[in-house]
Amino acid sequence: MNLRKNMLIGIVAGFVIVAAFVYATGLTKLILAPFGSSTEYKSSESATAPELATGDWINSEPLKLNDLRGRVVLIEFWTFGCYNCRNTLSFVKSWDDSYREKGFTVIGVHSPEFDEERKIENLRHQVSSLGIRYPVVTDNDYQTWKAYKVEAWPTAFLLDKKGRIRWMHVGEGDYDEAERLIQKLLAETG
């Protein structure tokens, strides 16, 4: 009887220790990222988005967020080897096609996970083969990733016309919510 009791206590204690470690290190965000997690911010509590770091641009001349004021901007952190990133692509490309002429700009920030993803020629090939027509900037040194405090691929930020972060999403999903917010922000004045 004591052996069973001790084993049960050991299992429970082990579970508590692992759960505490996962929570304390922030790993819960990474574990839950594939399932999706969104945060919407009111305009009054929104922070201005950090400027994009210098990188190589594909499909565009270098862009500055200050120059995009008056447009709604979606910034998506991704990497071409990420399965979850590829699953979001059809939605991001669709929004670019549907709303670009209405004042919407998509910027893909390519923050590589593996060495082959750091090579610009590999990225150019993938952008072309995936049919991505919106601007993509390299973030090989993770300066933009760190400025936005990104922790997982994919992570998207939706900026209003004043350059404030109004929505953030980690992982896949919430596509209807994202499109609703794109439409809402496009309709806002100012």
pLDDT digits (tens, 9 = 90+) for 89-147: 999 999 999 999 999 999 999 999 999 999 999 999 999 999 999 999 999 999 999 99
Residue 14 sits in the same domain as residue 42: no
Whether residue 31 sits in one domain with residue 43: no
Using alpha carbons, select from 188, 171, 187 the residue that is nearest to residue 91. Answer: 171
Q: Are residues 120 and 90 in the same domain?
A: yes
Whether residue 140 is found in the same domain as residue 175: yes
Same domain, yes or no: 69 and 53:
yes
The count of structural domains within the chain is: 2
**Do both 44 and 26 map to the same domain?**
no
Report the percent of the chain where pLDDT is more than 90: 74
Q: Give, for 127, the enclosing helix (H) or strand (E).
A: helix 120-129
How far is residue 2 from each of residues 5, 59, 68, measured CA to CA in Å?
Answer: 5, 68, 68
**Based on the domain organization, do 87 and 22 belong to the same domain?**
no
Task: Let me know whether 5 and 80 are in one domain.
Answer: no
77 and 146 in a common domain:
yes
Tokens 């209405």 appear where?
A: 102
Condensed to tens digits (0 to 9), the pLDDT of residues 38-54 reads: 888 877 778 999 999 99
25 and 102 in a common domain: no
Indicate the pairing of strand 72-78 with strand 37-40: unpaired
What is d(CA 130, CA 122) in angstroms, rounded to the nearest whole number?
A: 12
Query: In whole angstroms, what is the distance from residue 131 CA to residue 125 CA?
Result: 10
How confident is the model over 68-85, as pLDDT tens digits?
A: 999 999 999 999 999 999
Determine the structural domain holding residue 71 and report its residue range: 37-187
Which DSSP string do the residues of 28-51 spell out, in sequence order? HHHHHGGG-EEEE--GGGPPBPPP
Same domain, 69 and 25: no
- The enclosing domain of 42 has a CATH number of 3.40.30.10
Q: Looking at the structure, tell me whether residues 50 and 76 fall in a common domain.
A: yes
Task: Record the pTM.
Answer: 0.81
| Tokens, residue 23 | 């929570």
